[in-house]
Structure 1
Amino acid sequence: MNHAMKIVRSAPTLTLVAVLSAGWCSRVAQGSERLTSGAARALEPVGFLVRTNYHGWADSILVSNGRVEAVIVPAVGRVMQFRFAGEEEGPFWENREMDGKAPDPESKDWGNFGGDKAWPAPQSDWPKMTPRAWPPPVAFDSRPNEARVDGFEVKLTSAVDPHYGIRVRREIKLDLDRPVMTVATTYEKVSGRPLQVGVWVITQLKDPLAACASLPEFERFREGYYRQSDELPPNLRIENGLLLLTRDPKASHKVGTDAGALFWVGKEAVLRIDSPREVFGEYPDEGCSAEIYTNPDPLAYVELEMLGPLSKMVVGDRITRTSNYTLFRRREVDPDLEVRRLLIQ
């Protein structure tokens, strides 16, 4: 992509590496509104990409299309935030107690940084593949990633996991004109024996007013969901094809579905995550393609999780799963009505 200019600012925490690239520069025509004088037109949003120190992680990356922006932290291998442009807060949950810390692959405790990441599915295979059932396999979760910027696309590459023999590549980009982030997650089988595995993308989000799954017309599960915890969320309900629940502050809960879209509804914004279910293919967790986990206090977050079908991988194979994240402003008072409005757009 052709960069119109490059700027370096003197502030130590911010270096602008690409701005006003073709297709992302301000445009004065093409549908912009006339001012009362008729001589000037409204400017469209400007896109940019900067390298910055984000909460103690040097060489993090902020990319914006002028409508929304994403923060990528290669040091912990995560997309840490996705928010409206220029705002400090967004829907992704971040663990401020972990700010600036490096992941520790030798730790017996999970480094719960927050943000968006990818693990190998199914989780039930971890004890068979690694020396431990928990924390997650090290290269998927506990080692820094290499980052490369290609125009306004950020590409993360993990180390090869010593037990799975898989390298993870994630390509993160923003739509030119819409509040949409696309993340393509690819697993490359580099070494080791054949195995069956699927892409599993986990997005940690702040305590919502509601977390929802849009269920297909012909559901795989008789009750509309597959229970993955001892107890169901106390206020889980299904109404006209929509599963809704809220976080229980006292206990963790998890349910799986055969949905292709999940929703997080906050006080001022809605996040929609789309990763359409494939018609054919064996899915993990008794056939789940989308799952919702809720965490108890004191860490008040939920997880929206999208899963791809399982694939038998040998050295040289690649599998990819793509998720689209769309951010909306709230318009309806009722979270149920808010999600239904977005489903018919």
Structure 2
Amino acid sequence: MVSGVHWLDNGVLRLGVVPALGGRLLSLRYKEIELLWRNPALLDADLRLLDGGVARPNSGRMGDWLNYGGDKTWPAPQGWDHNDQWPGPPDPVLDSGPYTVSSTEGGLSMTSGAEPRTGLRFTRTLTLGTGASYTLRLTAENVSTRPVRWALWNVTQLPGGGTVTAGLARRRAPAVVGLVAGTGTPEYTVDGDRLVVPPQDVVGKLGVPGTAGWVSCDVGAASLTLSFDVDHEAEYPDSDSPLEVWLEHPLPAPLASLGDLDPPARIVELEVLGPLTTLEPGASTALTITGTVCRLT
């Protein structure tokens, strides 16, 4: 079943999910504070498409992408050179296709269609705890008849303007790398065992090979922390980066170097990746992310 908006509420956190829009988590509300960025040009406050719009799969260049916002899952590595790279977003199945939804104990589970280029089918399972935390369990299954090699890649979009802080374990060198410089590489500092990325107007991405398995971002009077396991013996995409931080802001013209990407707002992306895994037909790989919200003092 694919239908409308689904809400999970434990009295502390309220999560809004829209299976028809790529299985997205589009609202993460802590009391009166909304943590996620979503596109006000496409969605209203109730997560409904504006002007009576109907959810449709979206494809094309990055400049054609309908960026609804929120939290979603993609395959990595990204690229446009060969079939072992995912040429999105957009993507008409995993990113913007309808997901079927079913109830689970304490939450819900959403499953994508089969994507022919990657051979993958995704499942996103959200579970609310009793306090200000939730768990997102991701699974990628090879539903093709050939071996494939991919990593899970979860992207959480937050409003720009907050500081990003991430723990460093320093088990890989360098601990931080520049990955994408649309208008430049984001500036950062390393304070002991912490990476600090201040607010700034830049379109670009950092990779964190030395991540300790957690990252936080301030949003107004609250902070969201994502925690995840890291296998320091495994291979990860993008210079061995289990964590990536993307920043963007509006520009006077689309970025031709990034497929005419046209950033709609100041946005911070916290991107958590699983290891690159070779999957035989019928095999799967999984990644679990725990989100915790706290009020800033």
TM range (shorter): 0.7 to 0.9
- The separation in 2 between residues aligned to 1:188 and 1:200, in whole angstroms, is 14
One-letter amino acid of the counterpart of residue 234, structure 2? G
- The separation in 2 between residues aligned to 1:307 and 1:202, in whole angstroms, is 9
1:264 has 2:217 as partner:
yes
Aligned to 2:177: 226
- The separation in 2 between residues aligned to 1:110 and 1:192, in whole angstroms, is 29
SS in 2 for 1:144: coil
One-letter amino acid of the counterpart of residue 238, structure 1? V
Aligned to 1:73: 18
Segments of structure 1 that go 5 or more residues without pairing to the other structure are: 1-56, 332-345
Match of 2:72 among 112, 117, 126: 117
Q: Any idea what the Cα deviations from partners look like across 1:61-84, whole Å, max 9, x if unmatched?
A: 111111112111111020111121
Once the two structures are aligned, what percentage of the paired residues are identical?
28
- The separation in 2 between residues aligned to 1:58 and 1:320, in whole angstroms, is 25
Compute the displacement of 1:305 (Å). Answer: 0.4
Q: Would the aligned equivalents of 1:214 and 1:241 in 2 still touch at CA under 8 Å?
A: yes
* RMSD (CA atoms): 2.0
Q: Would the aligned equivalents of 1:104 and 1:111 in 2 still touch at CA under 8 Å?
A: no
- The separation in 1 between residues aligned to 2:224 and 2:85, in whole angstroms, is 36
Q: Any idea what the Cα deviations from partners look like across 1:88-139, whole Å, max 9, x if unmatched?
A: x411100011121424334441110100011101113x54228983434432
| CA 270–314 in structure 1, closer or farther in 2 if over 3 Å, else same | same
- The separation in 2 between residues aligned to 1:276 and 1:132, in whole angstroms, is 23
Correspondence 1:329-344 to 2 at 5 A: 329-331=295-297
Correspondence 1:1-345 to 2 at 5 A: 59-76=4-21, 77-85=23-31, 87=32, 89-99=33-43, 100=49, 101=53, 102-108=55-61, 109-124=64-79, 126-129=80-83, 133-175=87-129, 177-216=130-169, 218-222=170-174, 224-230=175-181, 231-234=184-187, 236-249=188-201, 251-258=202-209, 259=211, 260-297=213-250, 298-331=264-297
- The structure carrying a bigger strand percent of its residues is 2
Rg larger in structure: 1
| CA 212–131 in structure 1, closer or farther in 2 if over 3 Å, else same | closer
TM-score normalised according to structure 1 size: 0.73
Q: Would the aligned equivalents of 2:59 and 2:91 in 1 still touch at CA under 8 Å?
A: no
- The separation in 2 between residues aligned to 1:315 and 1:254, in whole angstroms, is 33
Q: Any idea what the Cα deviations from partners look like across 1:273-323, whole Å, max 9, x if unmatched?
A: 001211321111111010100011251111000011110012110110000
Q: Would the aligned equivalents of 1:119 and 1:136 in 2 still touch at CA under 8 Å?
A: no
TM-score normalised according to structure 2 size: 0.84
SS in 2 for 1:141: coil
- The structure carrying a bigger helix percent of its residues is 1
One-letter amino acid of the counterpart of residue 9, structure 2? S
Of structures 1 and 2, the one scoring higher in RCO (CA 8 A, sep 6+) is 2
Q: Would the aligned equivalents of 1:137 and 1:161 in 2 still touch at CA under 8 Å?
A: no
Segments of structure 2 that go 5 or more residues without pairing to the other structure are: 44-48, 251-263
